[in-house]
Amino acid sequence: MKRNKWVLLSAISFVLVIISLSGVICYAQKAPGPITLVYTLHTPPPPKGGGTADQAAFEWWTKEIEARTEGRVKFQVHYGAVLGKPTDFVKMVGGVGVADVGNIIGTYTQWQLPLFAGAMQPFLTTGMDIEVKALTRLYNEWAPMREEWAKHNIKPLWWYVIDPYSLIIKKEISRLDDLQGKKIWGAGGFAEIIKKFGITQVFFPATQAYEALQKGTLDGIIFPYGPISAFKFYEVAKVFVDMSFAGGQTPSAQGINLDVWNKISPEDRNTIEMVSAGMHDWFKQYYERDQQRLRDFYNSQGVTFITLSHEEQERIRERCAEAVWADWVEKAKSQGIPAEEFLTRYRAIVKELGQ
């Protein structure tokens, strides 16, 4: 009798051990391990001290996620578009094997993500705060905005709006007409403004613009104020013409491959989304603090700053605003893109936010 009782207890203990081990094995199979995300950026690496707002934001975001996930999510960052051209970032991130995460820039993806990039049309809004908030709200409210990302197999984690634009040239001007016949780099709506003033518009990856300016094959570039320092354009063209009155600031998103995203544990995905949700405010505060440093730096490099007269600014606006929008709508409609609805919705949100 005692022997039978001992055999029964031994059998029960054995079964419990097996069940326990099975649970451990199943958990080990289901629990995702650490993941390293390959991150492609077009900017040069940030210098000591943080660099421009976008350079500093990329660095802070990656380190904050690594710290908060206790190393379960890490980043392998590739600066300077070494993995591929910025025009290919959507394909690189949404596809397989090149990059998991990327800084996807409206300038280079105008017809890959046309509704997202639509916000960079000039004269719609000025200032990064309203533009980011309007884009975010429209993305949340309007399905076509979300669908254009999903079809590329990309989830946008956070976006920012690049600094206001400046025209970087070698000689002082008072009117855009002074540049007739010159070759100026410009993208999006700014490309159309250039053309309307008899200027030759050219476009290629900005990483090639320094050499073109240096050799004289390019006479100027319309580029965001802060990133001018990262690309060192001030070394080869020292006249900055303020174009902030036109707006047209470029939205840029940090997007992640959806398949890769789904491999990350729910806990770590939640952490990434929490960090990402605060990036607009982080970026804005850094940008505002950094303006005096940038101004002092450009002054130390011998830069001359020009602000066009109010009359010239109004002349440019009257000549270009409606024409630029109409040109974009026509091109978009030919590709089946609901551009008119985008403009109607976006402008209504911008107006509301500006009140």
For residue 172, the SS3 value is coil
Reported as a single tens digit per residue, the pLDDT across 81-122 is 999 999 999 999 999 889 999 999 998 899 999 999 999 999
Tens digits of residue pLDDT in 10-22: 444 443 434 444 4
Q: What is the dihedral of CA 311, 315, 317, 321, to 10 degrees?
A: 170
Which one of 3.40.30.120, 3.90.1150.10, 3.40.640.10, 3.40.190.170 gives the CATH number of domain 35-162+249-292?
3.40.190.170
Report pLDDT digits (tens) over 221-261.
999 999 999 899 999 999 999 999 998 888 999 999 999 99
Look at residue 101 and give its three-state secondary structure.
strand
The pLDDT of residue 205: 86
Q: Residue 29's pLDDT band (boundaries 50, 70, 90)?
A: very low
pLDDT for res 126: 80
Lowest-confidence region among 122-136, 151-165, 166-180, 294-308: 122-136
Band (pLDDT 50/70/90 cuts) for residue 1 is: very low
Residues in the chain, how many? 355
DSSP string, 170-205: SS--SSGGGGTT-EEE--HHHHHHHHHTTPEEE---
* β-bridge partners, 307: 242
Domain ranges across the chain: 35-162+249-292, 165-248+302-354
Give me the architecture of the 165-248+302-354 domain, per CATH: 3-Layer(aba) Sandwich (3.40)
Query: What pLDDT, on a 0 to 100 scale, did the predictor assign at position 87?
Result: 92
Q: Give me the mean pLDDT over the 320-349 stretch.
A: 94
Considering only residues 173 and 27, tell me which one the structure prediction assigns the higher pLDDT. 173
| Overall average pLDDT of the 292-321 stretch | 96
d(CA 316, CA 354): 23
Q: Do domains 35-162+249-292 and 165-248+302-354 have the same CATH topology?
A: yes
Q: Give the Å distances, CA to CA, from 185 to 5, 225, 334.
A: 89, 15, 25
Q: What is the DSSP letter of 208?
A: G
Mean model confidence pLDDT for the chain? 89
Confidence check: pLDDT of 67 > 60: yes
Q: What is the pLDDT of residue 6?
A: 45
pLDDT band, residue 50 (cuts 50/70/90): confident
Share of the chain above pLDDT 70, in %: 90
Asked if 155 and 256 count as a contact pair (C-beta separation under 8 A), the reply is: yes
Assess whether pLDDT exceeds 60 at residue 211: yes
At 342 the pLDDT is 96
pLDDT of residue 32: 59
> Quick one: pLDDT at residue 241?
97
Residue 110 CB-half CA count within 13 A = 16
Per-residue pLDDT at 187 exceeds 90: no
pLDDT tens string 121-135: 999 988 789 999 999
**251 and 117 Cβ atoms separated by less than 8 Å:** yes
Q: What is the pLDDT of residue 128?
A: 83
Find the mean pLDDT for residues 149-177.
95
The pLDDT tens digits for 339-349 are: 999 999 999 99
